[in-house]
Amino acid sequence: MAQFTDKIEPKDFPKMPKEYQDLLTRLLTIQADCEIGGPHIYVDHWTLRAPTVDDQWRVARIAAEEIDHCRKMLRLLGLIGSDRSDILTRPRSKREVEAFKEDMPTWADFAAFGMLIDKVGEYQLDEMISSSYQPIEDYLPQILREEKGHISYGQQQLEKLVRSGDEGRTQAQAAIDKWYVVGLDMFGQSNSARTERYIEWGLKRRTNEEARRQYIAEVDPQIEALGLVIPNKLQGRKYL
């Protein structure tokens, strides 16, 4: 597949073919929506209910970082003349990605969300490394560093729950069962024609299937290392 290797600055954007303009706008809009989608699920419920004051501080800090990631994606959209600040007030049911329509009733859910869904977020952002859209480069390193922090905090919290006894372990397993399948679905259809166009235009690096396979290879051993059971992948829908 021939790949586009130029670097596009905002001033070049209007001269690009419509397909490029549409794909870049779509990619950044979905990412902005995902970044703000997390805080919309957990801030009200968990900021002042997390188990300790340190955890409450960490939830607030994670939310602040996600809001900042959203702010950066909206800035990148602004540079190409798109104002999508409407996503800030979008109802949860209208989020771009199913994961952000879910509820998070237990602390184990918050932890599993960090371990598994922020991990998918890391994969999505990883696609943008060496993007043909130059301004992304300025923001990615810090965002990726912060995502890794969210993921490891989620893992630590699950580990604590597992160690706390049968009730904690049961909650941790239930949360892994729920969010693992949601996470696998986030990679999208295996035979997505759009993904090939993203790759050709230098806006993504991997197909949905490749990314999902690498994700499974990375998280399955982590779930086992927690002493938990890897959920049944066949419950996933989009890639069957």
> For residues 190 and 33, what is the distance between their CA atoms, to the nearest angstrom?
22
Amino acid at 58: R
Are residues 87 and 34 in contact, defined by beta-carbon separation less than 8 angstroms?
A: no
> For residues 173 and 161, what is the distance between their CA atoms, to the nearest angstrom?
10
Give the residue with the Cβ less far from Fe ion, 95 or 150. 150
- Taking CB under 5 A as the rule, does residue 118 contact Fe ion? yes
Piece of 27-35, 71-79, 134-142, 170-178 that binds Fe ion (CB under 5 A)? 27-35
> For residues 25 and 77, what is the distance between their CA atoms, to the nearest angstrom?
7
Interface with Fe ion in residues 38-77 (CB under 5 A): 66, 69
Are residues 200 and 20 in contact, defined by beta-carbon separation less than 8 angstroms?
A: no
Q: CA separation (Å) from 26 to 41, 76, 118, 131?
A: 22, 12, 20, 14
- Note the helical H segments in the chain: 18-46, 53-79, 107-112, 118-126, 136-163, 166-186, 193-200, 208-225
Piece of 20-28, 49-57, 145-153, 214-222 that binds Fe ion (CB under 5 A)? 145-153
Give the residue with the Cβ less far from Fe ion, 147 or 159. 147
Binding to Fe ion by CB under 5 A, coded x per residue (else -) over 178-217, reads ----------------------------------------
Give the residue with the Cβ less far from Fe ion, 42 or 201. 42
Q: In angstroms, what is the minimal distance from the CB of 143 to Fe ion?
A: 6
Q: Give which of 166, 160, 167, 172 is closest to 231, Cα–Cα.
A: 172
Give the residue with the Cβ less far from Fe ion, 150 or 169. 150
Q: In angstroms, what is the minimal distance from the CB of 172 to Fe ion?
A: 19
Give the residue with the Cβ less far from Fe ion, 150 or 204. 150
* Residue among 33, 109, 127, 147 that touches Fe ion (CB under 5 A): 147
Q: Which residues bind Fe ion (CB under 5 A)?
A: 35, 66, 69, 118, 147, 150
